Structure 1
Amino acid sequence: MCGIAGFVDFTRQTGKDTLVRMTDSLAHRGPNDAGYEVIEQPGASVGLGQRRLSILDLSSGGHQPMHFRHLSMIFNGEVYNFMEVRKELEAVGYTFDSTSDTEVILKGFHCWGPSVVDKFIGMFAYVVLDREKNVVTVTRDRAGVKPFYYYWDGQHFLWGSELKAFHQHRAFRKDIDVNSLALFLQFSYIPAPYCIFKNTYKLRPGHILTLSLGDKRVVERPYWDVADCYNKPRLRIDEQEALEETERLLVSAYNYRMVADVPVGIFLSGGYDSCSVAGILQKGRTERLKTFTIGFHEADFNEAHYAKKVADYLGTDHHEWYITAGDAKDVFHRLPEIYDEPFADNSVVPTALVSQLAARHVKVSLSADGGDEIFAGYKKFNQSLRYTESIPAPVQSMLSGAMSLINPERIPYFSRQYNFDTRYRKMQAIWESRSPLEALKVISSYTTPEEVAAFIRPAYTAYETSFDTGYPGASLDGLNRMLSVDYKTFLVDNNLVKVDRATMAVGLEGREPMLDHRVIEFLAQLPADLKIRKAVDLRGRPVNKYLLKKIVHKYIPKELMDRPKMPFIAPLKVWFRDELAEKMHDYLGERKLRESGLFNAKPIMELSRAYLAGSPVNYQKLWNLLVFQLWYERWMKTPVATAMPAEEVLA
C-alpha cells in the first residue's frame, strides 16, 4: 500500500524538487520508504514518485520506482494472487529478484502488455512508462478501491493518489468547478470522473488511461465494467448451489486479504457484512484475530454492544472505543486534510477514529464495504421498487401531476414534519419518472436540484453521472439494475473514498475482501429473489441480503445477528445542536458564506437557524455545506506551505 504522484511536463520545466514535494505530501500513505526519479523522454520530462507502506516483502526489494528493461513503474495497492501470476511468468523464462507483487506487475506488463490486468485479483493503481514506445499507461482496479486523480491542461499531466499532491506543482490551477460543487451538495460526494477543480479528474474504476508523449493524446478506455456482469444471462442454478458457490468465493476472497508480512485486523460493526469477514476468517484459526469497533453513548446510534457479543462468540481479540462529541470535535479540523476534496459522508468521524484505533495494533485492517451493494442490503432498494413497480404507471403520473399543483409548505400538520418539503419534492420526482433507477438517484440525494440552485450563486451545468448513463440492459429486473448503478456510484465515490482516506491518514492499509471481482461477477448473474427474498419474514418484511444471511448463520447464531439494520453514522444531528453548535454558527454565518462568492447566504442561513432552533430540518444538507466551508478554508485560503505534517493528520 502506497501513495503515488508524478507528472509529464511537455515544457520540461519541472524538476526533482517539485516531484519530491508532490510525493512527500502523501507521506502518511507510505511512511516506510520513498522513491523519486525524473526521466527525460523525447518531448517531455516524466516524474515518478512513490511513498511506500511496507506490507509485502519488507526489504528494499520492493523499492519504487521499479525498472525492467525499457519499462519503469510506480504502484499503489496490492495484487493478492501475485504468486500464481509469478509462476506463469517463471514458466516462460522470467526470473525475480524480490518477493514483491510490484515486480510481478512490472514483468507481467512486459510479457502481456496492459492486458496483464485481467490476471490480477486485488486493489491497485499503477503507472507504467514505456521508454521505447514513449507512452505512459495508467491502470485502476475494477471496483475502484485505490484512487487515482489526474490534472491535464495540455502541457502538464499531473497525477496523484490524493489531490494534495497537485498543490505542490506550480502549473496546477485550483479553480473550483461549480458544476462539481452542485453534485457535491446533492449527493455529499463528487461522482467520477468529476472533481472539485477544473481540468482535474478521477480515473474511473476498471479503466486504463494512456498518454502518448509524442502527440499528447490522452485515451481512456474500460477493461472491465460491472454492468457487463449484470447483463449476462441469469444462471440456471438452485438456491443450494448458489449458497455453496457464494460461500466458496467469499472464503477465497477473505483469505487472499490475509496475505501480509505484518499484523492484520478486522473492522467489526456487528452487522452481517463485517461479521461474515470475522466469522469466516476466525473459523479454524488458533490465533485470535484482532477486531475493532467504534461505539456511541447515544443509544439510537450505537451497535458496539452487538459487535462485542459477536466478538465474544467468535473468540476474537476485541478492541472498542466509545467516542463522544469531544472526540468528534478533535477530528473535525483534520477532516479537510484527510479528505482533500469536499466529502460529507455522515460516518467520516467514526471511520477516521476506528482507523486510528486499529492503527495502534495492526498495519492492515479488513473492512466489509460492498456488502450492501452486492447483496442488496440498503432499504433504498426496497423503497425504489415499492414506490414505482408496485404502483400502476397511470396512478404515478396522476399523483405527480397533483403534487406539482400544491405547495408542501402550506399543507397543515405535515409541513411541520421532519424534512417534509424535500421528501415531498422527491416523491413528486419519483412518480414523475416512474422508474426505479430514477427513484434510486432521487433517494440517494440529500438536497433536491431546486435547493441546490437556491444555494449556489454562479450559473452551473448539471453534469451527467453513472446514475444517468451507467444503466445496464433494459431487460434486467429493477433490483439488479439498481445494484449495478449503485456499485458504480455510491460504492466507489462515497464508501471507498471514506475508508481509503481514513485508513491511509494513519498509515493503515484498508482491504476490501467483499469487492473481489470474482464475487460480483458471480452474484451479478443471480436472480433478485436471492438478494431480497420476496417472501416476508415473521415481522412482515422482505428479507434483504438473503443469501449472505444464510451463509453467516453457519458461522454465527441467528439470534446474535437477527435485528434491524443500523447505519454506521455519528450522532451529528445531536452534537450540532449541543457541543458543536458554535461551528454551525461560525462557518454557516453570513461572513464566511460570502467569502468564496459561491453561495447565496440567505437561504443557507435560514436553514441553519431553523435547524438550531429545533425545526425538523435534515442536518445532512447543513453538514454538506459545513464540510465544504471547512474544505474551502483549508485548501483555498491557507498557503500550501502550512500543510499539516503527516504524523499530525490523525494524531
Structure 2
Amino acid sequence: MCGIAGFFDFNKNTSASVLQKMTDALIHRGPNDAGYEIIDNPYASIGLGQRRLSIIDLSANGRQPMHFENLSLIFNGEIYNYNSIREELIKAGYSFHSTSDTEVILKGYHKWGDAVVNKFIGMFAYIIYDSAKNEVTICRDRAGVKPLYYYWNNNILLFASELKSLHQHPSFQKEVDVNSLSLFLQYSYIPAPHTIFKNTFKLKPAHYLKLSLATKNITETRYWDVCNYYNKPTLDISEQEAIDEVEKLLISSYEYRMVADVPVGLFLSGGYDSTSVAAILQKNRTEKLKTFTIGYKEAAFNEAPEAKKIAAYLGTDHHEWYITAADAADVFHKLPEIYDEPFADNSVVPTALVSKLASQHVKVSLSADGGDEVFAGYNKFNQSIRYTESVPYFMQSLFGNVMSYINPEHIPYFNRQYNFATRYKKMQNIWKEKTPAAAMKYISQYITEEEADVFLKHKYEGYKTNFESGCKLSGDVNSLNKLLAIDYQTFLVDNNLVKVDRATMSVGLEGREPMLDHRIIEFVAQLPAHLKIRNHTNKYILKQIVHKYVPKELMDRPKMPFIAPLTVWFKDELKEKINYYLSEEKLNETGLFNNGPVMKLSKDYLQGKRVTYQKVWNILVFQLWYEKWCKNAA
C-alpha cells in the first residue's frame, strides 16, 4: 500500500526535485519508505515516485520503482492472491528476489501483458513503463478502490494517487471547472472521470490507459464491466444454493483480506455488512479480532451500543470512541487536506476519526463498503421503483406536465414543509422521464440542476456521468439490477470509496474492502431480484447468511446511516463556521457563486427554517477546499 506520483514530460523540463515534492506530498499514504527515479527516454523525461506503507514484505526488497528487463513499475494497493500467481510464474521459469506482490505484478505483466490484470484479486493502481515499446500503461482496479488522477496538457502528463501531488508541479494549472462544480453541488462528490480542475481526470475503474511516447497518443480500454454480469441470464438456482455460494465467496474474500505481515483490524458499525465481516472472520479464530466503532452522545445517530453488543457476542477485542463537537472541530479544518477535491459526504468526520482510532492499534483495517450496492441495502432502490413502476405511465406524464406550471412556493401548507421545493422538482423530473434509473439519479441529488444554476454565477454545460451512460444494460435486466449496476459505478466508487481511502490513508492506515471482491459481484449480479429485496426486506440474502452467525434478534433493527450529527453541531459549536465561510466577503474571494441565493440559504438554515443542512454543507465544504487549494493560486 502506498501513494504513487510522477510525470511523462515531453518538454523535458521537470527536475528530480519536483518529482520528490510530488511524491512526498503523499507521505501520509506511505510513511515507511520512498523511491524516486528519473528515466531518460528519447521522447520524454519520465519521473516515477512512490511512498510506501509496508504491509507485505517489509524489507527493502519491496522498494519501488521496481524493474525487470525492459519494464519499470510503481504500484499502489494489494494483490491478495499474489502467492498463487507467483507459483504459476515460478513454474513458468521466473525467479523472485522478494516476497512482495509488486514483483508478481511486474513479472506477471512481462509474461502475460495487459491480460495479467484478469488474474488479480485485489485493489490496485499501477504504472508500467516499457522501454522496448516506448509505451506506458496506467491501470486501475475493477471496483475503483484505489484512486488514480492524471493531468494532460501542454505536452506533459502528470499522475498521482491524490490531487495534492499535482499541485507540486509548476506546469499544473489550477483552473476550476464549473461543470464539475455543478456536479459536486448536486451529488456532494464529482463523478468520474471528471475532477474539479480542467484538463484533469480520474482514471475510471476497470480501465487502463496506453500512452505512446513516440506519438503522444492516449487510448483508453475497459478490461472488465460489471454490466456484463447483470446482462447475463438470471441464474436458475434455489435460495439455499444461492446462500451457500454467496457464503463461500464471502469467506474466501474476507480471508484474502487478512493476508498481511502487520496487524489487521476492522470497522464495526453493528449493521449487517460489517457484522458479516466480523462474524465470518472471528469464527474458528482463537485470537481476538480488533474491532473499532465511533459513537455519539446524540442518541439518534449513535450505533455504538449495537456494535458493542455484536462485538461482545462474537468475542472481538472491541474499541470505541465517543466523539463530540470538539473532536469534529479538530478534524474540520483538516478535511480539505484529507479530501483534496471538494467532497461533502455527511460521514467524513466519523470516518476520519474511526480511522484515527484504528491506526493506534493496527496498520490495516477492513471496511464493509459495497454491501449496500451489491446486495441492495439502500431504500433509494425501493423508492426509485415505487415512484415510477407503481404509478401508471400516463399519470406520470400528466403529473410531470402539470407540475411544471405550478410554483411549489405558492402551494399552501406544503411550502412550509422540509425541503419541499427541492423534493417537488425532483418528483417533477422523475415523472417526466418515467424510469427507475432516472428516479435514482434525482433522488441522489441534494441540490437539483436548476438550483445549482441559481447558486452558480457562470453558466455550465451538463456533463454526462455514469447515471446516464454507465453501461449498456439489456432490456431483459430487471429494474432493481439496473439500479444496482448504476450505483456500483457512481455512488460506490466516487463517494464511499473516496471517503474511506482518503480517511484511512490520512493516518497511514491501509483500508481494505472485502465485500468488493469482483467474484462476489459477478455472482450476485446474476441472482434474481427477490433474493436481494423480498417482502420489503432489503439485503435479504446477506441477512440470511449473517443470521447463521449472529442471532436475528441482535440484528433486527432499523437501518441507521453512518453519519455525524452535523445538524446539531452546525447550530451550536460550528455555527460560526457557516457565518464566516458563507459570508459575502468569503464568497467574493471564490468568485464562483451568486452571493444572494447562497447567503439566503445559510441564513434560512441557521434561523431554523425547513432547509436541508446538506445544501449548506456542500457549499461550505467547497469554500473550505477553495481557501486551501486555490485562494493563492497565480
Mark yes or no: TM-score above 0.5.
yes
Q: Please, which moves more after superposition, 568-577 or 402-411? A: 402-411
Aligned residue for 2:431? Answer: 431
Cα offset, 1:473, TM superposition: 1.9
Equivalent residues of 1:594, 1:600 under 8 A apart = no
Cα offset, 1:343, TM superposition: 0.3
Equivalent residues of 2:590, 2:631 under 8 A apart = no
Return the alpha-carbon distance in structure 1 between the equivalents of residues 467 and 474 of structure 2. 14
Aligned residue for 1:406? Answer: 406
Aligned residue for 1:196? Answer: 196
Q: Indicate the SS of the match to 2:321.
A: strand
Cα offset, 1:639, TM superposition: 7.1
Aligned residue for 2:631? Answer: 637
Aligned residue for 2:326? Answer: 326
Q: Indicate the SS of the match to 2:475.
A: coil
Aligned residue for 2:571? Answer: 577
- The superposition leaves residues 210-260 of structure 1 with CA deviations (integer Å, 9 ceiling, x where unpaired) of 100000001111000111111111111111100000000000000000000
Aligned residue for 1:61? Answer: 61
Q: Indicate the SS of the match to 2:72.
A: strand
Return the alpha-carbon distance in structure 2 between the equivalents of residues 393 and 225 of structure 1. 31
Aligned residue for 1:538? Answer: none
| Of 594, 618, 624, the match for 1:624 | 618
Counterpart amino acid of 2:576? Answer: E
- The superposition leaves residues 280-310 of structure 1 with CA deviations (integer Å, 9 ceiling, x where unpaired) of 0000100000000001111111111000000
Return the alpha-carbon distance in structure 1 between the equivalents of residues 470 and 8 of structure 2. 31
Return the alpha-carbon distance in structure 2 between the equivalents of residues 10 and 476 of structure 1. 46
Equivalent residues of 2:295, 2:322 under 8 A apart = yes
Aligned residue for 2:490? Answer: 489
Return the alpha-carbon distance in structure 2 between the equivalents of residues 211 and 342 of structure 1. 28
Return the alpha-carbon distance in structure 2 between the equivalents of residues 77 and 26 of structure 1. 14
Aligned residue for 2:526? Answer: 525
Return the alpha-carbon distance in structure 2 between the equivalents of residues 460 and 545 of structure 1. 39
Counterpart amino acid of 2:517? Answer: D
Aligned residue for 1:649? Answer: none
Cα offset, 1:414, TM superposition: 1.2
Aligned residue for 1:219? Answer: 219
Q: Indicate the SS of the match to 1:28.
A: coil
Equivalent residues of 2:338, 2:506 under 8 A apart = yes
Q: Indicate the SS of the match to 1:29.
A: coil
Q: What aligned pairs does 1:279-298 form with structure 2 within 5 A after superposition?
A: 279-298=279-298
Aligned residue for 1:479? Answer: 480
Q: Indicate the SS of the match to 1:311.
A: helix
Cα offset, 1:474, TM superposition: 2.7
Counterpart amino acid of 1:603? Answer: P
Aligned residue for 1:554? Answer: 548
Counterpart amino acid of 2:601? Answer: L
Counterpart amino acid of 1:398? Answer: L
Aligned residue for 2:249? Answer: 249
Cα offset, 1:349, TM superposition: 0.2
- Structure 2 residue 171 is the aligned partner of structure 1 residue 177: no
Equivalent residues of 2:5, 2:22 under 8 A apart = yes
Return the alpha-carbon distance in structure 2 between the equivalents of residues 98 and 638 of structure 1. 45
Equivalent residues of 1:154, 1:216 under 8 A apart = no
Cα offset, 1:360, TM superposition: 0.2
Return the alpha-carbon distance in structure 2 between the equivalents of residues 424 and 417 of structure 1. 11
- Structure 2 residue 501 is the aligned partner of structure 1 residue 500: yes
Return the alpha-carbon distance in structure 1 between the equivalents of residues 566 and 611 of structure 2. 13
Counterpart amino acid of 1:308? Answer: K
Aligned residue for 2:592? Answer: 598
Equivalent residues of 2:3, 2:51 under 8 A apart = yes
Q: Indicate the SS of the match to 1:554.
A: coil
- Structure 2 residue 437 is the aligned partner of structure 1 residue 416: no
Return the alpha-carbon distance in structure 2 between the equivalents of residues 485 and 361 of structure 1. 36
Counterpart amino acid of 1:286? Answer: T
Cα offset, 1:475, TM superposition: 2.2
Q: CA RMSD in A?
A: 0.8
Return the alpha-carbon distance in structure 1 between the equivalents of residues 20 and 229 of structure 2. 41
Counterpart amino acid of 2:503? Answer: A
Question: How many residues are aligned here?
Answer: 633
Q: Indicate the SS of the match to 1:27.
A: coil
In the superposition, the TM-score normalised over structure 1's length comes to 0.97
Return the alpha-carbon distance in structure 1 between the equivalents of residues 591 and 219 of structure 2. 35
Return the alpha-carbon distance in structure 2 between the equivalents of residues 230 and 489 of structure 1. 16
Equivalent residues of 2:185, 2:452 under 8 A apart = yes
Counterpart amino acid of 1:193? Answer: P
Aligned residue for 1:545? Answer: 539
- Identical aligned pairs, as a percentage? 68
Aligned residue for 1:94? Answer: 94
Aligned residue for 1:441? Answer: 441
Aligned residue for 2:583? Answer: 589
Counterpart amino acid of 1:210? Answer: K
Return the alpha-carbon distance in structure 2 between the equivalents of residues 254 and 271 of structure 1. 17
Equivalent residues of 2:192, 2:201 under 8 A apart = yes
- The superposition leaves residues 6-43 of structure 1 with CA deviations (integer Å, 9 ceiling, x where unpaired) of 00000111111110000000000000000000000111
Cα offset, 1:638, TM superposition: 4.7
Return the alpha-carbon distance in structure 2 between the equivalents of residues 300 and 474 of structure 1. 42
- The superposition leaves residues 146-175 of structure 1 with CA deviations (integer Å, 9 ceiling, x where unpaired) of 000000004110000000001110110001
- The superposition leaves residues 324-364 of structure 1 with CA deviations (integer Å, 9 ceiling, x where unpaired) of 11111110100000000000000000000000000000000
- Check 1:236–1:28 CA distance in 2 against 1; reply closer, same or farther (3 A cut): same
Equivalent residues of 2:589, 2:631 under 8 A apart = no
Cα offset, 1:114, TM superposition: 1.1
Return the alpha-carbon distance in structure 1 between the equivalents of residues 272 and 632 of structure 2. 43
